[in-house]
Amino acid sequence: MIKKQIQILIVDDHQIIIDGIKSLLAKMSNLAVVAEANNGKDAIEVLNKIKVDIVLLDIEMPGINGWDTAKIITSRFPHTKVIALTSYSEKAIIKKMLNAGASGYILKNIKKETLIEAITVVHRGERYFSTEISLALLKPSAEESIPQKQISSSGHSLSPREIEILKLIAAGLSNNEIGEKLFISHKTVNAHRENIMKKLNLHNIAGLVRFAIDNGLIE
């Protein structure tokens, strides 16, 4: 049985970016760049004509900007998922794109493997953020600091250390990376991870990430 290809539309006002992505994905048998557009208006016209699974969407474009384009796409074409592909890593812009309906947010300096992973993950209905974006979302401003009692009041008695580790797990860090960041062993991190899963009655990383999003630990 032949596996269905993921149909991709690239939207960017720089043709060199479009050509570069097409070249990167050209040999991927499960991915197909079926259309391209240089602005939001043209992207909408493309989607009115053909069905697309994933839109790789730039933010800063002439005419309709990225977040307004994302709003139109996600409302008119609910089967189509949007991934922001941009150079902007500011938290306010990230949140604006996510609020507009984007399912993923990655930077243009990522590796080919990360781009493919983002497309695959978002296509199966999950969210995807490149590491820099996850860390940007996790960095709290003074008014966004999440008090411990907010998590406890939901019936989940996570300790401050467990919340800290949960946030780093949601950011995509490995046990070793978390251990290095917090100056603890990877075995200690793994023990905390198991305790968190047990307390929350969750069984995989996707569940932990969803809990972190739902409880305001990551947007």
CATH number of the domain to which 210 belongs? 1.10.10.10
Pair 184, 112 in one domain: no
Q: What is the predicted pLDDT for the residue at 150?
A: 44
Pair 86, 180 in one domain: no
Pair 111, 52 in one domain: yes
Pair 125, 18 in one domain: yes
Q: What is the predicted pLDDT for the residue at 85?
A: 95
Q: What is the predicted pLDDT for the residue at 176?
A: 87
Residue 71 neighbours by CB under 8 Å, 6+ apart: 100, 101
- 77 within some domain: yes
Domain extent at residue 188: 142-214
Pair 158, 124 in one domain: no
The length of the chain is 219
- 137 within some domain: no
Pair 125, 149 in one domain: no
Q: pLDDT tens string for the chain (219 positions)? A: 455 899 999 999 999 999 999 999 998 999 999 999 999 999 999 999 999 999 999 998 888 889 899 999 999 999 999 999 998 888 888 888 988 999 999 999 889 999 999 999 999 998 898 888 877 777 655 444 444 444 543 446 788 888 888 888 887 788 888 888 888 888 889 899 999 998 888 888 777 887 887 777 765
Q: What is the predicted pLDDT for the residue at 96?
A: 87
Q: Residue type at 205? A: I
Task: With CA atoms as reference, report the closest residue to 60 among 87, 35, 80, 33.
Answer: 87
Task: Collapse the DSSP code of 12 into the 3-class scheme (helix H, G, I; strand E, B; otherwise coil) and give the result.
Answer: coil
Pair 102, 12 in one domain: yes
Last residue of a domain, one of 130, 164, 196: 130
Pair 11, 112 in one domain: yes
Q: What is the predicted pLDDT for the residue at 163?
A: 86
Pair 146, 202 in one domain: yes
Please state the domain count of the chain.
2
Pair 36, 94 in one domain: yes
Q: What is the predicted pLDDT for the residue at 89?
A: 85
